[in-house]
Chain A
Amino acid sequence: MSCEEPTTSPTPENNITVVSSDGKEFLLDLKLTEQSETLARLISNFEYDRTDVKKDPVPLGNITSAQMQKIIEWLQHHRYYPKWEQNDIHYSTSFTFETWVEEYLNIPNNEMFELLNAANYLNIPRLFSTICRIMASRITGKSAEQIRTVLNIKTDVKNDVYTGIPIQEDSSSSEDGMSEISLSPSPPPI
């Protein structure tokens, strides 16, 4: 088994070993694991932050070595960032991302979904939320038809026999209603 070290070379006292599903070992600085609620809880429960406690390798059965490598890259980059605070109340219609994040997540969709799974498993809220924001940015501003194309959604909404327009049963809004909410800078004249 190979043992890969993050760039900061943790010493035995301040690291733990995690093992990916394909048996690869990774040395992880305890400081980095603070970003993962799953790992942080595990370290706290087993008192792995104490120097006199023997640390057994932690098996991460749901995460491949490629994913773990990618996650370590994320943890390293955000090592000194302040603690993540979730905010789903103030949403934005324009998504902007750090250049580093854009490059980091410039990966095929299947890899992004796997990474989302891994972020969820390890409970890394900043990574999970960032991937969700990237996905949201691909939906926002698009019409219903464009969203169907982007998300590969097969519509099961009944169409009007004459117009072919999808019928919403509980909304006034067909294609020209709420779904295509008009947007103008000032209210219309009284």
Chain B
Amino acid sequence: MAAVKELVQTEQFESLKNIVIFATINVSLDSFLNLDSMDLTYPTLCPKDGIRLVEKNVKMELWPILPDTFKTSVVKKLDYKSRCRLRKCSKTERSLVDSCPVFIKHVNFEPRVGNVIYFSIEELGFPCEILNDKACNTQEVLQDFLLLFKNAKSKVTQLSIAHYNFQRQPDAVNDFIAFLLNEIGSQYPNSFKLKIQKLEFHWGEMKDTSLLSLLKIFDPKVFNALHLRNFPIRTPVLIEELLETEQWKNLKDIQIQEKLALPLNIFHPKDILSVTFHSLRADDAWNCIQNFQFKPRPFQSFFRIFTTTDLSLSEIFSQCNVPAKNEPIEKSHYLNDYFKHTQRFQLTWTQECILVVKIAKRQIKGTICRKEFLVDDFDELDDL
């Protein structure tokens, strides 16, 4: 034991890199913490020493001199929470983190009583963690939200807004959107756009101008899906303005729950359409079928139109260029009782898929299905 105590005080020991001592020792662990590797036996080890050993093994003292390209590669592997913490370490680390884009799966806003906004973030990747799920004042929420877009390439897959207490705070969402626009207007150039792929507005009320302004700050090259409970834009002038936006033109997926009093032809997304009308004319239904029959789309693309009055099968097929032939795709009696007719249409643009159109009493739905996977594909992208 005395020999080891003497050894750690020698000049030779200072230049040692590795050490193996078979005998049980009682010399302070501090003496060995600068070595690259050690194999020592202690009679006992206190938790504090254990933590120091673990810290020694994970320390990366050379980090500050590592080239930025290497640091960037490390940051890109970090989850959002760790990036935020690294960002706080120094200005250098802040710039480093900001130089790496983040990819977020879901951002959720929900105005709550007391002028606070519940705000949560869900990252892409596994395991799925909900971050920052708490309610804060609007200013704080907006700063943290805009922090996500610090890097111009950062992207959010889905932005959800829920407004459950709209009866008590009818203007909460409108106020929030106004704050957001104001914040962006004061801090970012006009060209700044939020890279958000999908907007979902679950519940509550939003003014027509708020929705229109919100859509306009989305990057039209990224934004492609709009899911709304209701569609507040009704006046012809605003509809005209909406139809002219790149964001609307580039939409691939529109799903609106509320019964619409607008013409079907303004909703012409490329891949997914789910809307409700009071009634549906046979020629409109046939146009919809033809639109899917003749224009190439990915498989599982679908249109679904609900009505509040009954659809007439005979009227729809009076428009068709093929005779009505009911060919259900599944054996379920329940489904086949609900859908009174299933028609299969050949597609002009591919041999591998067909368009399956199911017609119920008050619903018509058509999906591009792979011939081998008709049942699997029919409802695959359907959220309902």
Contacts from A to B (Cβ < 8 Å): 88-94, 108-110, 113, 116, 120, 128-129, 132-133, 135-136, 138-144, 147-157, 166, 168, 170-173, 175, 177-185, 187-188, 190
Contacts and interface: CB of A to CB of B under 8 A. Distances in A.
A128 B89 contact: no
Contacts of A110: 62
Given A91-B77, A113-B62, A135-B60, 5 more contacts: A92-B125, A92-B126, A92-B127, A156-B91, A187-B130
Contacts of A142: 82, 85
B135 interface: yes
A184 to B, nearest CB: 6
A190 B79 contact: no
Contact of B125 (A91, A128, A155, A187): A91
B308 interface: no
B89 A151 contact: yes
Contact of A184 (B133, B143, B164): B133
A183 B93 CA distance: 23
Dominant SS among interface residues on chain B = mixed
Q: Top 10 closest A-B pairs, CB basis? A: A172-B140, A136-B77, A151-B63, A108-B36, A138-B58, A144-B88, A90-B125, A172-B143, A88-B76, A152-B61
Contacts, number: 175
Contacts of A90: 103, 124-126
Given A109-B59, A147-B86, A188-B135, A89 B70 contact: no
Dominant SS among interface residues on chain A = loop
Nearest to A174: B88
B227 to A, nearest CB: 20
Contacts of A187: 118, 120, 130, 133
A67 B76 CA distance: 25
A183 B131 contact: yes
A172 B144 contact: yes
Contacts of A113: 62, 66
B65 to A, nearest CB: 9
B147 interface: yes
A153 B64 contact: yes
Contacts of B17: 108
B69 to A, nearest CB: 8
A5 to B, nearest CB: 28
Interface string B106-140: 00001010000010110111110111111110011
